[in-house]
Amino acid sequence: MTLLLEMRDITKEFPGVKALDQVNLQVREGEIHAICGENGAGKSTLMKVLSGVYPVGSYDGEIHYDGGLAEFKTLRDSEDKGIVIIHQELALVPQLSIAENIFLGNERQTGGVIQWQETFRRTEELLAKVGLRDAPGTLVDSIGVGKQQLVEIAKALSKDVKLLILDEPTAALQENDSRKLLDLMLELKAQGVTCIIISHKLNEVRYVADTVTVIRDGMAVSELDASQGLSEDRIVRDMVGRDMSQRYPDRERRAGEVVMAVKDWNVWHPEHAERQVIKNINFNVRAGEVVGIAGVMGSGRTELAMSIFGQSWGRGISGEVSLHGKPIDVSKVDRAIDAGLAYVTEDRKSLGLILDESIRFNTTLANLNGVSDKGVLNEAEETDVAERYRKALATRTPTVMQKVGNLSGGNQQKVVLAKWLFTEPEVLILDEPTRGIDVGAKYEIYSIINELSAQGKAVVMISSEMPELLGMCDRIYVMNEGAFVGELSAEEASQERIMSLIVSE
Amino acid sequence: MSTQTAETAGQGEAQGLKHYLRNHMREYGLLFALIAIMVFFQAVTGGTLMRPVNITNLFLQNSYVIIMALGMLIVIVSGNIDLSVGSVLGFIGALAAVMIVHWGWSVPLTILACLVVGGLIGAAQGYWVAYWSIPSFIVTLAGMLVFRGASLWLLQGQSVGPFPPGFQMLSTGFVPDLFPREMTAGLAEIAGSRNFNLLAMAVGIVAAVAIVWLGLRERARDKAYGIEGEPANFFWVRNAIVCGALLFLTFKIATFRGLPNVLVTMGVLIIIYAFITQKTVIGRRIYALGGNRKAAKLSGIKTERLTFLAFVNMGVLAALAGLVFAARLNTATPKAGFGMELDVIAAVFIGGASMAGGSGKIVGAVVGAFIMGVMNNGMSIMGIGIDYQQMIKGLVLLAAVIFDVYNKSKQG
For chains A and B, CB pairs below 8 A equal: 85
A297 close to B (CB below 8 A): no
- Is A346 in contact with A302 (CB distance < 8 Å)? yes
A365 touching B, CB under 8 A?
Answer: yes
Q: Do A351 and B359 touch (CB under 8 A)?
A: no
Q: Is B228 on the interface with A (CB under 8 A)?
A: yes
Query: Is B214's Cβ below 8 Å from some Cβ in A?
Result: no
Of B294, B300, B359, the CB nearest to A337: B300
Would you state the pLDDT for residue A218? Answer: 84
* Cβ-proximal residues to A451 (8 Å cutoff; 6+ apart), any chain: none
Mean pLDDT by 10 residues, chain A (505 residues): 88 76 91 83 86 89 89 88 83 89 87 89 90 88 82 87 87 78 90 88 86 88 84 79 70 85 93 87 94 85 93 90 94 94 91 93 95 92 93 87 85 94 95 83 90 93 87 92 91 84 70
CATH 3.40.50.300, domain A258-340+425-504, yes or no: yes
Rg (CA), chain B: 23
- Map residue A315 onto helix, strand or coil: strand
**Cβ pair B230, B219 in contact under 8 A:** yes
Q: What is the pLDDT of residue B411?
A: 59
Name the residue among B210, A489, A468 with its Cα closest to residue A478: A489
CA A323 to mean position of chain CA atoms: 31
Indicate the residue of A343, A376, A383 with minimum beta-carbon distance to B225.
A383
B217 vs A: CB within 8 A: no
- Give me the pLDDT at residue B13, please: 55
User: Given this model, what pLDDT does residue B9 score?
Assistant: 42
Q: Count Cα atoms within 13 angstroms, Cβ side, for A38.
A: 22
Q: What pLDDT, on a 0 to 100 scale, did the predictor assign at position B363? A: 92
Given CB atoms, is A333 within the 8 Å cutoff of chain B? yes
CA distances from B122 to B91, B145, B333 (A): 13, 15, 22
Q: Is B359 in CB contact (< 8 Å) with chain A?
A: yes
pLDDT digits (tens, 9 = 90+) for B373-407: 999 999 999 999 889 998 998 998 898 888 888 87
Q: Name which CATH class applies to B48-173+260-411.
A: mainly alpha
Taking an 8 Å cut-off on Cβ atoms, the answer to whether B281 and A368 are in contact is: yes
Interface of B with A in 289-308 (CB under 8 A): 291-292, 294-302
Q: Do B301 and B294 form a contact (C-beta atoms < 8 A)? A: no
Report DSSP state, residue B45.
T
Domain boundaries, chain A: 3-240, 258-340+425-504, 355-423
* pLDDT of res. A156: 87
Q: Cβ of A406 under 8 Å from any chain B Cβ? A: no
Using CB atoms, pick whichever of B227, B281, B301 lies closest to residue A372.
B281
Q: Does B355 touch chain A (CB under 8 A)?
A: no
Q: Which residues of B touch A352 (CB under 8 A)?
A: 295, 298
Give the whole-angstrom CA distance, residue A415 versus residue A421.
10
pTM: 0.81
Q: Examine the predicted complex and report whether its ipTM is higher than 0.90.
A: no
User: What residues of A are in contact with residue B296 (Cβ under 8 Å)?
Assistant: 354, 365
Dihedral (C-alpha) A21, A27, A33, A38: value to the nearest 10 degrees? 0
Which residues of chain B register pLDDT less than 70? 1-16, 23, 228, 410-412
* Alpha-carbon distances, residue A346 vs A295, A352, A372, B119, B295 (angstroms): 14, 8, 29, 39, 11
Q: How far is A349 from chain B (nearest CA, A)?
A: 9
The Cβ of residue B278 has, within 10 Å, a number of other Cβ atoms equal to 15
Exposed, middle or buried, B191 (CB in 10 Å: 0-12/13-18/19+)? middle
Separation in Å, CA B32 to CA A269, B36, B148, B239:
55, 6, 37, 13
* Interchain proximity A355–B292, CB inside 8 Å: yes
With an 8 Å Cβ cutoff, is A350 touching chain B? yes
Round to whole Å and give the CA distance between B261 and B60: 9
Q: Which of B77, B228, B298 to mutate to test the interface with A (most CBs of A within 10 A)?
A: B298
A154 touches chain B (CB under 8 A): no
pLDDT score of A75: 86
Nearest CA to B338 out of B95, B155, B91 is that of B91
Residue B226 and residue A357: Cβ atoms within 8 Å? no
For chain B, helix (H) and strand (E) counts, in that order, are 17, 0
Q: Are A487 and A475 in contact (CB under 8 A)?
A: yes
pLDDT on residue B8: 43
CATH of domain A3-240: 3.40.50.300
B292 and A387 within 8 Å at the Cβ level: the answer is no
* Predicted pLDDT at A465: 80
